[in-house]
Structure 1
Amino acid sequence: MLPNHHKISIAIVDDHPIVIQGFKSLLENDPVYEIAGCFTTGGDLMQFLSQQKVDILLLDITLPDGSGVHFCKEISERYPDTNVVGLSNLNERSIISQLLKNGARGYLLKNLSARELLDALNTVMEGKIALSDEVKDILQQPDLNTLQPVPELTKREKQILHLLAAGRKSAAIAEELYISPLTVKTHRATLLHKFQVNNIVTLINRAKETGLI
């Protein structure tokens, strides 16, 4: 824990302002913690971190300008004194594991209570990993993904998968590959089905686990 005269600074990154406001209301009158900044994009956060140090970063996984998983890795490498804690509604094992591998000091689900949030922040400042109870249960379950066969992808599907992993949007992919946006949308849906996932973030992480990207 830091000296008593110094409040522990926290930054919050989430693409939903109402979520940010909720967490601000939980922490703004706390005697230990203070809100140093709130952001809705990873880019704004990175600019802030280049100018000011924060002790804890509550980082959403799905951001409009990139994946929180990727931002976590960059932050952990560039600002090792900042404790990154994932904050998400996503409870897929692959995302949780990848975020922790990228240097996160915790992973919390957004349905946690005020008491659970403060306990988690205290845990992080004690140098320990903070995980929601549901996240702990998920990580203790057998990793069934290793038992699933690697999906067979067409050449076009591999191209689109790599472009999605690079952060390209559907319109940009369509323009780069000289195909229609509808065709890209169809391939995205096929990729989600083949990997048995529900969103692009999980798709990319699952593809990395299987060595396809």
Structure 2
Amino acid sequence: MQTDKLRTALVDDHPIVIEGLKTLLQNETNLEVTSTFFKGEDFLSYIKVNQVDLVLLDVTLPDINGMDLCQMIKRESLSIIVLILSNHTERSIIMQTIQNGASGYLLKNSSLDELRHCISEAVKGNICFSKEVTEIISRPSKNQLQDRPQLTRREKQILSLLAQGKTSHIIAEELFLSPLTVDTHRRNLIQKFSAKNVAELIMEANQLGLL
């Protein structure tokens, strides 16, 4: 590398967030924002031919969700450090991004100091969370069971089809999705219900009146 600065990409579907982050980071001595993207696919194409050291990535994008994109980025280049910067506060989403290779998760209301700290930890190879995220993931799972998990429309569809005994492949064909996407949704559902497997997931969903 010609410079010690981390070549940093910003991936977020809100132009105002991108501009805000660029302004926030412009005086940082250890990184330089070299590219910005509103869509995940555009970023994946970019990293095939350009070097990126660090990406600040949102979970909600118009084409690919940040959890899946994280996995795709790591498949393309293990050396890229992925930090999630999102408004999503669901424990299952936070844990899934880490499972998919993210080095940290911060909420968008985090301070610049928290972001600096997480970047510094990630460069050392550690996983780092903002203070609020640390509190979310350290809450006992039992507390989550008190409330009905918030499900997306797609998760409700998949939960219903799983309850009918359908496999990921059959569900994928019916909903015109890839089996990998269905498996991701299934894993997220299992996490949201703090279940060990699909059978337990369906039992929990039944008890909560979601089926």
Could you tell me whether the CA contact under 8 Å between 1:95 and 1:205 is conserved in 2? no
Count residues in correspondence: 177
What secondary structure, in the 3-state scheme, does the structure 2 residue paired with 1:64 have?
Answer: coil
What amino acid does structure 2 have at the position aligned with 1:18?
A: I
Aligned ranges for residues 1-213 of structure 1 at < 5 Å? 5-144=3-142, 157-158=160-161, 206-209=188-191, 210=195, 211-212=197-198
What amino acid does structure 2 have at the position aligned with 1:139?
A: I
Could you tell me whether the CA contact under 8 Å between 1:94 and 1:205 is conserved in 2? no
The unaligned stretches of length 5 or more in structure 2 are 163-167, 177-183, 202-211
What secondary structure, in the 3-state scheme, does the structure 1 residue paired with 2:46 have?
Answer: helix
Q: Deviations over 1:29-51 (max 9, x none)?
A: 22211002110000111011111
Distance 1:21-1:140 versus aligned 2 partners, 3 A rule: same
- How big is the shift at 1:208? 4.6
Where do 4+ consecutive residues of structure 1 move more than 6 Å? 146-151, 153-156
Could you tell me whether the CA contact under 8 Å between 2:8 and 2:33 is conserved in 1? yes
What amino acid does structure 2 have at the position aligned with 1:6?
A: D
Once residues 128 and 87 of structure 1 are traced to their aligned partners in structure 2, the CA distance between those partners, rounded to angstroms, is 17
What amino acid does structure 2 have at the position aligned with 1:136?
A: T
Q: Deviations over 1:101-126 (max 9, x none)?
A: 00110001000112221121111112
TM-score, normalisation: structure 2: 0.71
Once residues 102 and 71 of structure 1 are traced to their aligned partners in structure 2, the CA distance between those partners, rounded to angstroms, is 9
Distance 1:205-1:40 versus aligned 2 partners, 3 A rule: farther
Once residues 62 and 43 of structure 1 are traced to their aligned partners in structure 2, the CA distance between those partners, rounded to angstroms, is 13
Greater shift, 96-105 or 127-136, is seen at 127-136
The unaligned stretches of length 5 or more in structure 1 are 167-172, 177-201
What CA RMSD, in Å, does the superposition of the two structures yield over aligned residues?
3.6
What secondary structure, in the 3-state scheme, does the structure 1 residue paired with 2:140 have?
Answer: coil
Identity %: 36
Could you tell me whether the CA contact under 8 Å between 1:84 and 1:104 is conserved in 2? yes
